[in-house]
């Protein structure tokens, strides 16, 4: 055979091989859930020539070796789906598994611990989705790459052993102890709370390695524990020296030339109503009866932006913090005290600069006229909520007439808001009675008075009308920092509706009827055993409010447009709103949406951090309080059910603990996720959300901020 003929035969063979390879892959791909032996494949492809059959067998082995198809143990073959990769953020649920939250897919991906590649909670990772998951089930996968570590510093308790030192992290989502070389302990002592920075990440079943960068104090001491919470959530311990100096240098004198530029309210009756322990006052109300019988109400807000200039060190620090944080025993302010408690605070009997929303209201509480602009005020009186409430109830005392009128108007605003679909959620909050060292002596439920609601209603009015004014001014083209609250996820609402039906309550879940139906439900369950659980579940089914430039409305308040205007001393979005409103009042062109959206997202993120830190500090004090009550019995209500335990809220003090399923000895209980309950395998006894139970405290863990409870057997049964 000539060289030319040999080359021609090779080319033909290669062409035939490529064609056969395409046919083999096509057959397996079109039958993705089936397997075929080599004989079945040959038969399906209708190959009869001996050489071609031999080529099919060679190609199958080659494709399997390259990973393009899969060879099973019985030498049959199946199609291998090309792996899909996504990136996301790790949410470590427990030591056994984590979820990876990704914006690329509708559902999160469940990843077992053995496939985490030692990624930690908050890390950004690349995940390969397993191809063989069943349709309709939760996606599963494995981490293939750690793109970015979410955090490098952790808070925990340091423990010394004869040959090594390690830190046990406080975070329940950090499942590795951190090894610390003995020459890197930074003078820490056994059982100190410390901040440790990881310098070597975990691998091959080894623990991460870290160095102690700060000692916070002895575990269990108030300051050490609160500082631990602050460090855990990345909250600042102090203002930078440069920021404090910048605040000190501000000239607090108000020039006469500035007052002349402003609308003067110093001769109008004006007062503040705030908590008894408030140190800064960022809102005041003025009231004036007009000749036509209408009432002029001024909502006056501290003009923070007069002192806080854009892009200065003070402003950058305020933006970075984004919000004040209110822990149980202290406030971490957004602004230095020189601004928050002095220059900007609307203290009584002082001239103060304000940015105001002024409304003319008729007898029905309808807005007849409105005005927005810079003002100067002089507060006549500083009321606590309790003082104002007493005057409202007795209709006597300082400014009784003015408070009565404002309270009546606020009630009319409230009624109209609820008629338009605002949801009437009322949650119970607690505060602690602390001794001089921060130790909790008691837990007190906060009571919402009419005086609280009065202030809230006028603040809501100002926030709503400011947002509507900016939106209306340029047919929606003015970029603004809105506060939005989306319609709830339909699946969550449907699940809640099914659960409410178990108690005999029907919920209409349509977009037009949900708010009214929820309000009817809240009214129907008041005082009933299921009130707590249904209201809690209803709140959990709602979307989270956030800041954005998109004017999509606020579902919970039933406002088409809404913004935060009334608290610039403690919220940076309010500072943004003040600047934007002032700019648009001067007929400025719409600002860039991109830069503003980034600021809105940062503010939303920091708001969540603040809320989580506040909850952690409350939980710490609850655990500390309960520590002294071990073995005591309490009445409680089942507030949550998960795979390995039942959460119980103690009715007397609102503390929440867990009864672990493994500790229940009267039966073997299984978790029923769809019905929020556990069921005894033998007795069929159900323990479900909303059940009233009796429990006792068996253990507490300050480091993890957990309370372990046990069910107390019913003494009326044998």
- DSSP secondary structure string, 29-49? HHTTT--B-HHHHHHHTT---
Q: Which residues constitute the domain of residue 351?
A: 241-445
pLDDT in the model for residue 3: 46
- CA-nearest of 567, 607, 275 to 431 is 275
What are the phi and psi torsion angles at 183 (to 5°)?
-90, 10
98 plus 50 within the same structural domain: no
Residue 125's Cβ-side half-sphere holds a number of Cα atoms within 13 Å equal to 29
489 plus 576 within the same structural domain: yes
In terms of C-beta density within 10 A (0-12 exposed, 13-18 middle, 19 or more buried), how is residue 288 classed? middle
Distance in angstroms (rounded) separating the CA atoms of residues 179 and 158? 10
Distance of CA 203 to the CA centre of its chain: 31
The domain boundary residue, chosen from 35, 60, 79: 79
266 plus 414 within the same structural domain: yes
The domain boundary residue, chosen from 384, 417, 445: 445
Q: Establish if 285 belongs to a structural domain.
A: yes
101 plus 177 within the same structural domain: no
652 plus 700 within the same structural domain: yes
Q: Establish if 231 belongs to a structural domain.
A: no
Question: Do the bridges between strand 263-264 and strand 367-378 make them parallel or antiparallel, or are there none, so unpaired?
Answer: parallel
Q: Establish if 684 belongs to a structural domain.
A: yes
Domains: count for the chain: 6
Measured CA distances, 444 to 215, 615, 619, 655 (Å): 33, 16, 14, 11
Distance in angstroms (rounded) separating the CA atoms of residues 509 and 501? 12
132 plus 186 within the same structural domain: no
- Provide the CATH number for the domain around residue 194: 2.40.50.700
What are the phi and psi torsion angles at 293 (to 5°)?
90, -10
- CA-nearest of 525, 531, 571, 708 to 629 is 708
b/e map 694-703, b = 16+ CB within 10 Å: ebebeebebb
367 plus 413 within the same structural domain: yes
What are the phi and psi torsion angles at 638 (to 5°)?
-65, 120
92 plus 215 within the same structural domain: no
- CA-nearest of 75, 69, 68 to 37 is 75
Which residues, including other chains, have CB under 8 Å from residue 362's CB and lie 6 or more apart? 294, 368
- Provide the CATH number for the domain around residue 39: 1.10.10.10
Q: What strands lie across the sheet with 351-361, from one edge to the other? A: 263-264, 367-378, 351-361, 295-302, 283-289, 269-274, 381-384
506 plus 596 within the same structural domain: yes
140 plus 162 within the same structural domain: no
**H helical segments located in 502-652:** 514-525, 531-540, 572-585, 593-627
Q: Establish if 236 belongs to a structural domain.
A: no
CB-CB neighbours of 143 under 10 Å: 22
46 plus 140 within the same structural domain: no
CB-CB neighbours of 412 under 10 Å: 16
DSSP structure class, residue 658: E
Q: Give the bridge partners for 370, in sequence order.
A: 359
Which residues, including other chains, have CB under 8 Å from residue 712's CB and lie 6 or more apart? 633, 694, 695, 696
Three-class DSSP category at 213: strand
Residue 616 tokens, joined: 């952690």
Residue 385 tokens, joined: 């909520």
Question: Do the bridges between strand 69-71 and strand 263-264 make them parallel or antiparallel, or are there none, so unpaired?
Answer: unpaired
pLDDT in the model for residue 451: 97
pTM here is 0.84
Q: Establish if 322 belongs to a structural domain.
A: yes
pLDDT in the model for residue 61: 85
- CA-nearest of 438, 462, 483 to 229 is 438
Q: Establish if 433 belongs to a structural domain.
A: yes
Q: What tens digit of pLDDT does each residue of 45-68 get?
A: 888 888 888 888 888 888 887 777
248 plus 392 within the same structural domain: yes
Distance in angstroms (rounded) separating the CA atoms of residues 651 and 656? 9
Residue 78 tokens, joined: 């199946």
Distance in angstroms (rounded) separating the CA atoms of residues 665 and 712? 11
Distance in angstroms (rounded) separating the CA atoms of residues 87 and 147? 9
Q: Establish if 374 belongs to a structural domain.
A: yes
Q: Establish if 205 belongs to a structural domain.
A: yes
The domain boundary residue, chosen from 411, 445, 479: 445
CB-CB neighbours of 540 under 10 Å: 11
Low-confidence stretches of the chain (pLDDT beneath 70) = 1-17, 32, 81, 131-137, 715-718
Distance of CA 290 to the CA centre of its chain: 45
pLDDT in the model for residue 8: 44
């Amino acid at each position: 055979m000539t060289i030319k003929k040999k080359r021609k035969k090779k080319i033909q063979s290669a062409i035939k091989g490529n064609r056969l390879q395409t046919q083999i892959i096509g057959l397996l791909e079109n039958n993705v859930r089936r397997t075929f032996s080599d004989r079945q494949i040959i038969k399906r492809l209708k190959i009869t020539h001996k050489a071609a059959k031999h080529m099919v067998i060679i190609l199958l082995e080659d494709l399997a070796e390259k990973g393009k198809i899969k060879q099973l143990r019985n030498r049959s073959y199946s199609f291998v789906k090309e792996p899909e990769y996504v990136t996301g953020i790790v949410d470590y649920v427990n030591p056994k598994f984590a979820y990876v939250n990704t914006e690329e897919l509708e559902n999160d991906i469940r990843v077992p611990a053995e496939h985490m590649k030692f990624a930690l909670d908050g890390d950004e990772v690349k995940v390969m989705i397993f191809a063989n998951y069943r349709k309709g089930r939760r996606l599963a996968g494995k981490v293939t790459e750690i793109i970015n570590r979410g955090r490098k510093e952790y808070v925990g308790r340091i423990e010394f052993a004869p040959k090594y030192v390690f830190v046990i992290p406080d975070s329940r989502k950090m499942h590795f102890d951190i090894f610390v070389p003995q020459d890197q302990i930074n003078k820490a002592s056994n059982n100190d709370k410390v901040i440790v920075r990881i310098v070597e990440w975990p691998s091959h079943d080894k623990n991460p390695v870290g160095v102690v960068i700060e000692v916070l104090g002895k575990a269990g001491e108030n300051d050490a524990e609160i500082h631990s919470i602050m460090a855990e959530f990345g909250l600042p311990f102090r203002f930078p020296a440069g920021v404090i100096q910048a605040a000190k240098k501000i000239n607090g004198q108000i020039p006469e030339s500035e007052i002349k530029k402003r609308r003067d309210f110093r001769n109008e009756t004006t007062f503040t109503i705030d908590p008894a322990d408030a140190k800064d006052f960022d809102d005041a109300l003025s009231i004036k009866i007009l000749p036509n019988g209408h009432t002029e109400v001024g909502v006056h807000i501290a003009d923070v932006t007069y002192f806080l200039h854009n892009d200065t060190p003070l402003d950058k620090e305020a933006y970075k913090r984004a919000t004040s944080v209110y822990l149980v025993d202290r406030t971490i302010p957004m602004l230095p005290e020189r601004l928050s408690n002095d220059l900007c605070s609307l203290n009584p009997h002082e001239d103060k600069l304000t940015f105001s929303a002024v409304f003319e209201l008729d007898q029905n509480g309808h807005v007849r006229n409105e005005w927005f602009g810079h003002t100067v005020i002089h507060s006549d009186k500083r009321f606590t909520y309790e003082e104002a409430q007493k005057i409202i109830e007795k209709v006597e005392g300082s400014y009784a007439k003015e408070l009565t009128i404002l309270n009546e108007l606020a009630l009319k605003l409230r009624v109209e808001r609820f008629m338009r679909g605002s949801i009437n959620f009322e949650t119970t909050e607690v505060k602690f009675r602390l001794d001089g060292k921060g130790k909790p002596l008691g837990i007190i439920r906060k009571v919402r008075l009419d005086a609280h609601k009065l202030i809230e209603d006028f603040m809501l009015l100002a926030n709503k009308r400011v947002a509507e004014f900016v939106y209306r001014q340029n047919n929606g083209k003015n970029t603004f920092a809105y506060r939005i609250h989306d319609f709830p996820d339909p699946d969550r609402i449907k699940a809640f509706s099914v659960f409410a039906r178990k108690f005999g309550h029907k919920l209409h879940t349509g977009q037009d009827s949900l708010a009214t139906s929820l309000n009817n439900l809240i009214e129907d369950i008041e005082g009933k055993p299921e009130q707590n659980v249904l209201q809690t579940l209803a709140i959990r089914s709602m979307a989270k409010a956030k800041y954005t430039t998109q004017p999509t409305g606020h579902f919970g308040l039933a406002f088409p447009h809404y913004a935060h205007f009334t608290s610039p001393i403690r919220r940076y979005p309010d500072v943004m709103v003040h600047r934007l409103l002032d700019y648009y009042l001067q007929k400025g062109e719409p600002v860039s949406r991109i830069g503003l959206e980034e600021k809105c997202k940062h503010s939303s993120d920091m708001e969540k951090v603040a809320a989580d830190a506040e909850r952690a500090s409350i939980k710490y004090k609850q655990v500390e309080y309960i520590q002294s009550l071990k073995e005591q019995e309490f009445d409680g209500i089942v507030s949550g059910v998960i795979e390995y335990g039942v959460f119980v809220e103690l009715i007397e003090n609102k503390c929440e603990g867990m009864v672990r399923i493994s500790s229940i000895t009267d039966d073997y209980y299984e978790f029923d996720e769809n019905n929020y309950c556990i069921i005894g395998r033998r007795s069929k006894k159900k323990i479900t959300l909303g059940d009233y139970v009796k429990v006792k405290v068996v253990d507490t863990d300050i480091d993890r901020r957990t309370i372990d409870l046990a069910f107390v057997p019913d003494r009326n049964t044998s």
